[in-house]
Structure 1
Amino acid sequence: MLAIYDDKQHDKRVALDDGCERYTWSELREQVAKSAQGLRNLQTSGTVMIEMTNTAEALIQLMSAFQAGWDVCPFSSKAKHSQVQRLVDTLQPQLMIAIQGNHTIPVYTQAEWRERYNLLKPYVEHQSTSHFIGTTSGTTGFPKILYRTIKSWQASSEALADAYYNEKVQTVIIPGKLEQGHFLMGAIDGLCRGLSVRLLSRYHPQALRQLIEGTQDPLVYIVPTMMQHLAELPTNTSGFWLCGGDHCQTYWQERLKTAAPRMRLWRYYGSMETSFISLARDTDAPDSVGFPMLGVNITLTTEQKISVRSNQLFSGYDSKEQHINQWETSDYGYLSEAGELTVIGRDTNRIQFGALTVQAEVVEAVLQQTENLDEVVVIGQNDAYWGEIVVAYYTGRATKKTLRQLCRHQLKAHERPRLFVHVAELPHTITGKIDRQKMKEEGIHEPSSHC
């Protein structure tokens, strides 16, 4: 059962605060139960699509769907109409709660739905038949729809609880968008384990630092791109960073530790399909992704691909009826004798430069050490002579001369980008990752590169 924390001794404590609205645990349980009753009044089960704004109301709607036994599909406010319509056509939901509606199904705004359910009595039962419907990042093409059971979410929450069993964590801070799985998992886990959840309406480094400094020993969910900003904002507050998403570069780990010496940096490795795979604590090797989390078994295929067996795995793509016991990821890696996992890179990010293979993540890790560089993505562009050449697209104020010098000192000759292309911004998928596929399709084609 995935339910709001229920301990009468803590009923008057703050459970959820988005900066505009604040709920105690008793108030939050009541609101979730009323919204669940609103769904049950429509029908005993169904599918609801929810536009995931960074608000307490959006989380109330999500948790109420779990309680009511409905399948729930959160979607991004930045999703194109065509992307949302594809979800509608595929899922055939009975209800959508969104900022605005121009679809062929009943649509309520958050305020309209709240006005509707506030008139109802709370639904006191808890169902365990719900599915969470998510989408992959879409970095290799169109996002895939995937299903997760409530049991797999519970397993993920238990793995986190095991990791922080001996730590004094009472508050979770979510600075990123709830439409991203990393931040949504953090918020849901906090609400289910009795940790007060604080949301930022939008990410801003200064606002995050102020919130951290006003909170005792917080657990702060971040992604690697945030590390660069936070490393410029020293703080003496104690607590935890939990970094997910793409691999956290060693250089920025050290910078962040220097800026916040009393904040412990923990990093996890996982995906939408697997949830949590491994956790690296601050005492683990900085270039590894740590050791398997509770209930996770990691093996390597003969090709060194990472394979995972756990009770956190998703149910399948486009169908919730599948039962997956083991999942082979797209990542290559190796295990130490002690069982510590290191990820080398993803198979789709390999660049074939003549007879030599370049792993894009290796090049990106070097470039990300550069001051004044905001974002960078390395891809292979078609070349008539070499097959593919290494091209680096970047944003920020870093100079091409600086980037070339860094690569000359730290990369092998075939790994060094032949072209550095400065752009105003990089495209992102609806889950916030850099859209490599779009860069390959719309970037420089067939450049002259034989020199």
Structure 2
Amino acid sequence: MGNITDSYETLAKIFPNKIAIYTNHQQINYKKWNELVNQTANWLDSLHSENKTIGILLPNGIPFLQLFAGAAKAGWIAVPYDLKWKTTELEKRVKLSNPSIIVTTREIYNRIIRDFPNAISLDDSLRKISRFEANIIKHTQENSPFYIGFTSGTTGNPKAFIRSQDSWVASFDCNRIDFEINESEHVLIPGALIHSHFLYGAISTLYLGGTVYLLDKFSPIKGHSWIKSYPITTMYVVPTMVEAFLKQGIQINKSIKILSSGAKWSESSKMKISIIFPNITMYEFYGASEMSFITVLSDRDGMHKAASVGKPCYGVEVQIRLQDQRLAKHNEIGKIYVRSGLIIDGYIDHDGKDVHSIRDEEGWATVHDMGYFDEDGYLYIIGREQNMILYGGINIFPEEIEKVISLHPDVEEVAVIGLEDSYWGQVVVAVVKGKENPLEIRKFCKKYLSSYKIPRKWLFLSEMPYTTSGKIARAELVKLFENKETKTSDE
């Protein structure tokens, strides 16, 4: 199908002076962008590495995208690392991904060179890159692996997945068809490029020929300012960012398209943001790091199917299977299986040598989410199998309880987890960010939930812990209870 950088040559000829990437510090047109990517690819090729894997430990900026795209062009694999990771966390992921070199800032380089002797400073690498030809010397093989990312397993330990060029090139068709995005878009990327949602947003925009507006780091004030000052037409977000924008309370009247991944938006958040952005076009999509896009729900459909996550994206097949692997009927809950060209190659084993596919013999894969289709073909997510709480032999999905609790005015954010119990197996526990008022919230829950679904214990926090992808870190919440580090409010 091709390389994720294949369009750059053409774009450089058709729109040489069009801005490809705009940041707070610099801007670069498509002619220069194409040259930088080629120079980077030629530099990497000159290293004659057997492993052909580059670690990127950098803040948001053009160099991050340049190294990522240049690696893809050269047939190398890029591995973004999070600046927030401690040395021990970085060591685990470096061991899994086994990079030939790690490019980082001068400050971090001085700090980590003893532990990571293959590190190189960004300044040094850019100096070396600048000496190479601006035309590509070598063409890469078709559909080569290009990207290693990480997810947290159920134990909290990282799992490394690897994906090939074709999976993202196929995803770009979803941008065109499902999200109606083309070369005329001005796309705001407000989040960290370590998050695949924002990295994909930037790379897909560059492939299609739009302009990327890249924030150094997320700031709702800066985001609002850029939306007002520049011709932004599209913005990639996660729900926590939306809440931050809402707190600013600044109305933006221009037409803007929002692409949201992560947790499902609450109806109250949707109503609030439609006031802040009265001319919004909203696309929520359900997906996973391993699967990319699965379904999409536009605000046109969201009016009458608000609780669903939409219909399958272009080129994606979805099945609901029961425990005995029979296909579920309409409104019958089962495990969600997906088949598409967007799925990862697989997980890398712990010695970094073998890749284990997540597909079955017929190409189907699952991340163990549970859900159902309605009679109109809209998908509804009930919860993730691994989050399921087994209370006295009854299956309880935390997501259902979270939806109810989140409606209470005293609640800003909520996560429901299962805590081990010698009699019941597990009991339902609610962790709430907001006003500490467990009796009132329990009373509210009784209106909408069966008694066995109402949390038995309550924990109130000033801030929730998050994973690098912006989701609530449930494993950390379980540890808070198990270690009894925080006072809990019993029933």
| TM bracket, shorter-chain basis | over 0.9
Deviates more, 1:343-352 or 1:244-253: 244-253
Shift of 1:408: 3.2
Contact 1:381 1:445 in 2 (8 A): no
Shift of 1:426: 2.8
Contact 1:52 1:178 in 2 (8 A): no
Q: Which residue of 2 aligns with 1:408?
A: 446
Contact 1:131 1:320 in 2 (8 A): no
Query: Quick one: distance in 1 between partners of 2:193 and 2:340?
Result: 25
Shift of 1:402: 5.0
Deviates more, 1:63-72 or 1:161-170: 161-170
Q: Does 1:422 align with 2:478?
A: no
Q: Which residue of 1 aligns with 2:388?
A: 350
Q: Which residue of 1 aligns with 2:20?
A: 15
Contact 1:330 1:348 in 2 (8 A): yes
Classify the secondary structure of the residue corresponding to 1:231: helix
Contact 2:358 2:365 in 1 (8 A): no
Shift of 1:429: 2.7
Alignment of 1:213-292 (within 5 A): 213-216=228-231, 218-232=233-247, 233=249, 234-284=251-301, 285-292=305-312
Match of 2:80 among 74, 78, 81: 74
TM-score where L is the length of structure 1: 0.93
Query: Quick one: distance in 1 between partners of 2:91 and 2:181?
Result: 45
Q: Which residue of 1 aligns with 2:318?
A: 298
Q: Does 1:437 align with 2:449?
A: no
Cα distance per residue 1:269-302 (max 9 Å; x no partner): 1101111001111122121111111110001111
Q: Does 1:326 align with 2:364?
A: yes
Q: Which residue of 2 aligns with 1:107?
A: 119
Query: Quick one: distance in 2 between partners of 1:401 and 1:206?
Result: 36
Contact 1:279 1:290 in 2 (8 A): yes
Shift of 1:138: 3.9
Contact 2:54 2:101 in 1 (8 A): yes
Classify the secondary structure of the residue corresponding to 1:121: coil
Classify the secondary structure of the residue corresponding to 1:83: helix
Q: Does 1:29 align with 2:29?
A: no
Q: Which residue of 2 aligns with 1:393?
A: 431
Query: Quick one: distance in 2 between partners of 1:340 and 1:18?
Result: 39
Cα distance per residue 1:387-427 (max 9 Å; x no partner): 32221122344644553343233333222222221224333
Contact 1:140 1:348 in 2 (8 A): no
Q: Which residue of 2 aligns with 1:2?
A: 4
Q: Relative to 1, partners in 2 of residues 1:109 and 1:168: Cα closer, same or farther, differing over 3 Å?
A: closer
Contact 1:370 1:398 in 2 (8 A): no
Contact 1:51 1:76 in 2 (8 A): yes
Deviates more, 1:34-43 or 1:125-134: 125-134
Contact 2:174 2:314 in 1 (8 A): yes
Q: CA RMSD in A?
A: 2.4
| One-letter identity of the residue aligned with 1:190 | T
Unmatched runs of 5 consecutive residues or more in structure 1: none
Classify the secondary structure of the residue corresponding to 1:147: strand
Q: Which residue of 1 aligns with 2:344?
A: 314
Classify the secondary structure of the residue corresponding to 1:404: helix
Shift of 1:47: 0.7
Classify the secondary structure of the residue corresponding to 1:329: coil
Q: Relative to 1, partners in 2 of residues 1:198 and 1:373: Cα closer, same or farther, differing over 3 Å?
A: farther
Deviates more, 1:290-299 or 1:345-354: 345-354
| One-letter identity of the residue aligned with 1:10 | F
Contact 1:169 1:219 in 2 (8 A): no
Q: Relative to 1, partners in 2 of residues 1:388 and 1:448: Cα closer, same or farther, differing over 3 Å?
A: farther
Shift of 1:242: 0.6
Query: Quick one: distance in 2 between partners of 1:448 and 1:434?
Result: 19
Q: Which residue of 2 aligns with 1:160?
A: 175
Q: Does 1:338 align with 2:365?
A: no
Q: Which residue of 2 aligns with 1:180?
A: 195
Q: Relative to 1, partners in 2 of residues 1:381 and 1:269: Cα closer, same or farther, differing over 3 Å?
A: same
Deviates more, 1:161-170 or 1:428-437: 161-170
Query: Quick one: distance in 2 between partners of 1:353 and 1:185?
Result: 39
Shift of 1:193: 0.7
| One-letter identity of the residue aligned with 2:171 | S
Deviates more, 1:80-89 or 1:55-64: 80-89
Query: Quick one: distance in 2 between partners of 1:156 and 1:11?
Result: 25
Cα distance per residue 1:83-121 (max 9 Å; x no partner): 222232233321111232333442122222112211222
| One-letter identity of the residue aligned with 1:270 | G
Query: Quick one: distance in 2 between partners of 1:371 and 1:213?
Result: 31
Q: How many residues align?
A: 451
Deviates more, 1:430-439 or 1:273-282: 430-439
Match of 2:96 among 90, 95, 108: 90
Shift of 1:126: 4.3
Q: Relative to 1, partners in 2 of residues 1:126 and 1:159: Cα closer, same or farther, differing over 3 Å?
A: farther
| One-letter identity of the residue aligned with 2:322 | T
Contact 1:36 1:122 in 2 (8 A): no
